[in-house]
Chain A
Amino acid sequence: MRVFMLGWEFPPYISGGLGTACYGLTKAMNQLGVEVTFVLPKIVNGKYVTHVKLLTPDSQTSKTSLNLNELKNVSFCTINSPLQAYSTPDSYQQQFEETLRQKQIKNSTFSLKQSSFGGADYGGDMYTEVHRYAALAAELAEKEQFDIVHAHDWMTYPAGIAVAALSGKPLIVHMHATEFDRSGEHVNQMIYDIERRGLHAADKIIAVSYLTRSIIVDRYGISREKVEVVHNGVERNGNKILTDSGISKDEKIVLFLGRITMQKGPEYFLRAAKRVIDVMENVKFVMAGSGDLMHRAVEMAAELGIGSKVLFTGFLRGDAVQKIYQMADLFVMPSVSEPFGLVPLEALDNDVPVIISKQSGVSEVLKHALKVDFWDVEEIANKIIAVLKYPPLKMTLRDYGNFEVRKLRWNESAAKCLRIYEDTMVAV
């Protein structure tokens, strides 16, 4: 089985769960002997300063993080396109202008196969860019041999459609997040249209949760039979530092880790923090991550009068993430809408118990987690206090949760995808 896979981020250049998911999935596919050609838009700008900055190549970590041996059946193609995950048209425009100003295209430190296409002639808006990416991907595909096309999230859908049309191969589109998850009801019509076109053009759709499947069915006019659910897995933390971290603390730490955007519900985290701090001492709330609501969140903490109890770390990666997990007593994910949500699995893998919103796909696969409605601040606070106050609760959640997470492996997700490929190829 040979797969032509269209993605938009890959470790170490990630800003969220999509890159991690693509890494886990392709690694497990590699073990199943599936050949994957993974197409990525090349990251062009290393100095850009907004939340997008977090994606930029970091030459110090790139080689160690990408163990190519694990991915020997996966080959990479990059296209000189500034597309990045979680971009909005606005931030894209800014980035584009910045790039023009610098007029300098930095070569990737990735030791990957590089497309001869592209150059500095980027289109000036996101819409054009997505379609340029599609055209270049299609051209690239002509040189490749594959059996099926697999496109991850909306920015790659036009590319997926083009490649499938030209090659005559079946198209699988993978929905990691819908526009409704990202933007609530303030849907960007252009993105919605692209998603809708991709979903309708696909021979089969993979949704990361039943929650996402119902959004696809209800909001995009797709029949339920066309959508398969494949839950994400979690990458085992192989190099866990088992020695004493040397952290001694007399304060409890409650952790928020993720992009600080509307979708992740930072507001509810802060309101719950306020309720907890009202009745409890020796507790600190850490918000690790960045995003377009970061400034708003800092302001809000100050408005609530809990500024000194809430720490903002910015975006963390690598060892810093490990360290924050080691310090944390509890992880809270109050997402308003979370198609899947890999972070709670990572937290449990690092022995941190979790509170997750019922409005998350991951709550479909986790039993040993505390679950709340994201808007129910009182209940979030109630549960935070319970975990901090009753050690047996923390212990039971951690031990059973960690055990449960060990069972959620990427190879099951990859095997499911493979089955879907085979079924689709028979049907087409």
Chain B
Amino acid sequence: MINISREAFCVLCTHDVLRRAKYKLQNTRKNMASICFYFQVHQPRRLRHYTVFDDDDKYFDDSKNAFICRKVANKCYLPANRLLLDTIKRYEGRFRIAYSITGVLLEQLFKFSPEVISTFDALAETGCVEFLAETYYHSLSFLYSRDEFIEQINKHCDTIEELFGQKPKIFRNTELIYNNELAGLIESMDSFDAILTEGADHILGSKSPNFVYRPRDCGRLKLLLKNYTLSDDIAFRFSNRDWAEWPLTADKYAQWVNRINGNGNVVNLFMDYETFGEHQWEDTGIFNFMRHLPDEILKHPDNDFKTPSEVIQTYEPVGTVDIPHLISWADTERDLSAWLGNAMQSNAIHELYRIEKKVKKTGSEKIIEDWRKLQTSDHFYYMCTKYFADGDVHKYFNPYDSPYDSYINFMNILGNLHNRCSKRATGALSGTSLQNKDQPNLQIVC
């Protein structure tokens, strides 16, 4: 999920004006502009209130999860899927999109809102929709455990193939977190053709996000960069009445896209799927905007819609991009501070990965699965204190009153999980049967 503060919003608006001016000046040469839509679809499995006195292994608040899942399904997933399916049929293959749906969400959809799965399946069957790969648990595992990272990607790919009949060829990391090393690792997996990340100015310098690139040190893998101006026009600014361009119409938006025609090959519009109906409510006109957008875009004969795989098949890299430091698509900083910015976040995630061996050694499917669900990045996002004092941000379906409550809850659960592992280990040593249920034993060590 991406989020943005008010302050950041103003900065973005200023950038936005400058960039449009730049495009106008450079608009001389003619060639194709392909629109590449990718929607991130994710909801975490939220944790239940778990005190230090609790000692069961039920960590998740599934009545809350069911409620949120159904709510988002009704406001966003179902109407948006219906709309996009209609649009694809109406344009007979000329309108094309991509999704990345996390494993943790797919599991919840099966449980709480299975009709959403069938509408995604219907979309898959059109042949105009590409599904991307990511870590099944929407985790930050790349930063802490390469083995775990690869296992989670493989699990996600298998799930997507099983559900939608296509093997993902494009990778996107959680929150578009990226650096050269990630690109190297993904290339070495030999399963993917390209990777997606953020294309903010301060990351790219003078480079335009509107071309295909090659990550530094990669021979085969290609890189697609988010056009953050045009993406954020829809995802963040669409309903903002203080924005000079409000109200945004499909017609106006298509004109902005047309300006790229001539100094770019592709416009990568990457955003949360919840933009439609959740972040921007239906009454803002967001669905109508999407309904009319293809018409307006396709009015220009040079424009088309492509999936990420089609983009990289059509366009060759125009250069290499060197990103040594970790970046993401979050906040103005575009760094990892939303998940790892304070001592609590850093402590929680280190403690989580520190017990990896212990967890895996238990051989208990349930323990490993619980441990993996704790890896979902949202748990750490809720601990963020960055904009907390401003009462801003990070509020979207955040189950906690404060980052502190979130940390305490997480650590209590992690403590219990750790005890379960220890219990197993002792059980195994003393020769007791592993069939015994995990009986966590509350021990507090200071």
B52 & A367 in contact (Cβ 8 Å cutoff): no
- Return chain B residues, CB-CB under 8 Å to A252: 446
A385 & B404 in contact (Cβ 8 Å cutoff): no
CA distance A368 to B51 in the complex (A): 20
CB distance from B169 to the nearest CB of A (A): 41
Interface string of A307-333 (1 = CB under 8 A from B): 000000000000000000000000000
CA distance A282 to B444 in the complex (A): 11
B408 & A368 in contact (Cβ 8 Å cutoff): no
Interface string of B429-446 (1 = CB under 8 A from A): 000000000000010101
A279 contacts chain B at the CB level, 8 A cutoff: yes
Query: Which one of B253-261, B269-277, B292-300, B342-350 is at the interface?
Result: B342-350
Classify chain B: how many residues form its interface, as a range. 20 to 34
Query: Which one of A26-34, A51-59, A392-400 is at the interface?
Result: A392-400
Pick the contact of A388: B388, B389, B402, B446 (CB < 8 A): B446
A135 contacts chain B at the CB level, 8 A cutoff: no
A390 & B444 in contact (Cβ 8 Å cutoff): no
A381 & B444 in contact (Cβ 8 Å cutoff): no
CA distance A213 to B391 in the complex (A): 22
B108 contacts chain A at the CB level, 8 A cutoff: no
Known: A280-B444, A388-B446. A393 touches B401 (CB 8 A): no
CA distance A244 to B52 in the complex (A): 33
A416 contacts chain B at the CB level, 8 A cutoff: no
Q: Closest chain B residue to A282 by CB distance?
A: B446
B307 contacts chain A at the CB level, 8 A cutoff: no
- Return chain B residues, CB-CB under 8 Å to A385: 52, 444
B407 contacts chain A at the CB level, 8 A cutoff: yes
Interface string of B118-149 (1 = CB under 8 A from A): 00000000000000000000000000000000
B385 contacts chain A at the CB level, 8 A cutoff: yes
CB distance from B177 to the nearest CB of A (A): 22
B5 contacts chain A at the CB level, 8 A cutoff: no
CA distance A388 to B446 in the complex (A): 8
CA distance A381 to B411 in the complex (A): 15
CB distance from A232 to the nearest CB of B (A): 19
B446 & A386 in contact (Cβ 8 Å cutoff): no
Pick the contact of A393: B51, B344, B346, B442 (CB < 8 A): B344
Pick the contact of A386: B346, B402, B411 (CB < 8 A): B411
Q: Closest chain A residue to B49 by CB distance?
A: A379
Q: Closest chain A residue to B405 by CB distance?
A: A370
B51 & A370 in contact (Cβ 8 Å cutoff): no
CA distance A370 to B408 in the complex (A): 10
- Return chain A residues, CB-CB under 8 Å to B407: 386, 390, 392-393, 396
Interface string of A377-417 (1 = CB under 8 A from B): 01101110110111111011100100010000000000000
B389 & A404 in contact (Cβ 8 Å cutoff): yes
Which residues in chain A, 273-291, are within 8 Å of chain B measured between CB atoms? 275, 279-282
Q: Closest chain B residue to A252 by CB distance?
A: B446
Number of interface residues of A (CB under 8 A): 28
- Return chain A residues, CB-CB under 8 Å to B342: 392, 396
A371 contacts chain B at the CB level, 8 A cutoff: yes
A368 & B389 in contact (Cβ 8 Å cutoff): yes
- Return chain A residues, CB-CB under 8 Å to B405: 370
- Return chain B residues, CB-CB under 8 Å to A404: 389
CB distance from B52 to the nearest CB of A (A): 5
B402 & A371 in contact (Cβ 8 Å cutoff): yes
- Return chain B residues, CB-CB under 8 Å to A390: 344, 347, 407-408, 411
CA distance A392 to B51 in the complex (A): 18
Which residues in chain B, 391-413, are within 8 Å of chain A measured between CB atoms? 391, 401-402, 404-405, 407-408, 411-412
A393 & B52 in contact (Cβ 8 Å cutoff): no
Pick the contact of B52: A279, A391, A392, A400 (CB < 8 A): A279
CA distance A310 to B279 in the complex (A): 51
Which residues in chain A, 334-362, are within 8 Å of chain B measured between CB atoms? none
CA distance A252 to B446 in the complex (A): 10
Which residues in chain A, 260-304, are within 8 Å of chain B measured between CB atoms? 275, 279-282
CB distance from B416 to the nearest CB of A (A): 13
Known: A281-B446, A382-B408. A395 touches B53 (CB 8 A): no
B53 & A382 in contact (Cβ 8 Å cutoff): yes
Q: Closest chain B residue to A403 by CB distance?
A: B389
- Return chain B residues, CB-CB under 8 Å to A382: 51-53, 408, 412
CA distance A191 to B79 in the complex (A): 61
Interface string of B174-187 (1 = CB under 8 A from A): 00000000000000
A392 & B53 in contact (Cβ 8 Å cutoff): no
A396 & B408 in contact (Cβ 8 Å cutoff): no
- Return chain A residues, CB-CB under 8 Å to B402: 367, 370-371
Interface string of B55-91 (1 = CB under 8 A from A): 0000000000000000000000000000000000000
A396 & B51 in contact (Cβ 8 Å cutoff): no
The interface of chain B, by Cβ under 8 A from chain A, is 51-53, 342-344, 346-347, 385, 388-389, 391, 401-402, 404-405, 407-408, 411-412, 442, 444, 446
8 A-B pairs closest in CB distance: A382-B51, A392-B343, A392-B347, A386-B408, A392-B344, A385-B52, A396-B344, A382-B52
28 inter-chain pairs at a CB distance below 8 angstroms, sorted by A residue, are A252-B446, A275-B53, A279-B53, A279-B442, A280-B446, A282-B446, A368-B388, A368-B389, A370-B404, A378-B53, A379-B51, A381-B51, A381-B53, A382-B53, A382-B412, A385-B52, A386-B52, A386-B407, A386-B411, A389-B411, A389-B446, A390-B408, A391-B347, A392-B346, A392-B407, A393-B344, A397-B404, A404-B389
